[in-house]
Amino acid sequence: MTTTPILLRPRRFQDTRGWFSETYSKATAAAAGIGLTFVQDNQSFSAATGTVRGLHFQRPPHAQAKLVRCTRGSIIDYAVDIRRGSPTYGRFVSARLTAEGGEQILLPVGFAHGFVTLEPDVEVAYKVTDFYAPECDGGLIWNDPDIGIYWPLPASGASLSEKDAALPRLAELDSPFEYDGAPLEPIPEL
């Protein structure tokens, strides 16, 4: 099973009507070494360019792996390693996800997740491996200088929720996630 983020590019079959794509198949995922069971689908809509959502995670016993895709518009998606003892703790990887390209990113447990919208009226859909549990909700402030993410924002700046604007810094995190021996690397494509 994967323990670092992976970029997936499901095939699209085109004809004169448009295209068809199998966006998730348990059998295809298993053949690629992804043995996750997804239990909930989520979707978000962001009206403004520069909407930042994250950096979010859910603590055990309801930790979540996520399979994220952009179904309308485009985003930059980020995964921050928050596995205690990891040599890449606090580092991040990112990928551009577009509705046009159909890319997906698989984010294992132990990573904080966030994204920024690159245009107006963006929709993002993601599958998760555990149900939402408010008592396990966690996050990091999006612009923590110790993480150092570059967020491509419009001149008006980031559009944030009050909750996301008040999240703590990485230095304040007592991470509940253990390092599993796989350091964060550039995102491989499957």
d(CA 72, CA 112): 23
d(CA 93, CA 188): 11
Q: Which of 78, 89, 113, 126 is catalytic?
A: 126
d(CA 75, CA 56): 16
- Other C-beta atoms closer than 10 Å to the C-beta of 57 total 27
Look up 62 and say whether it is catalytic.
no
If you ran DSSP here, which 8-state letter would residue 17 be given?
A: T
Q: Which of 56, 78, 89, 113 is catalytic?
A: 56
> What's the angle, vertex CA 28, arms to CA 101 and CA 66, rounded to 5?
65
Look up 150 and say whether it is catalytic.
no
Contact by Cβ (8 Å): 11, 22: yes
Question: Catalytic residues, which ones?
Answer: 56, 126
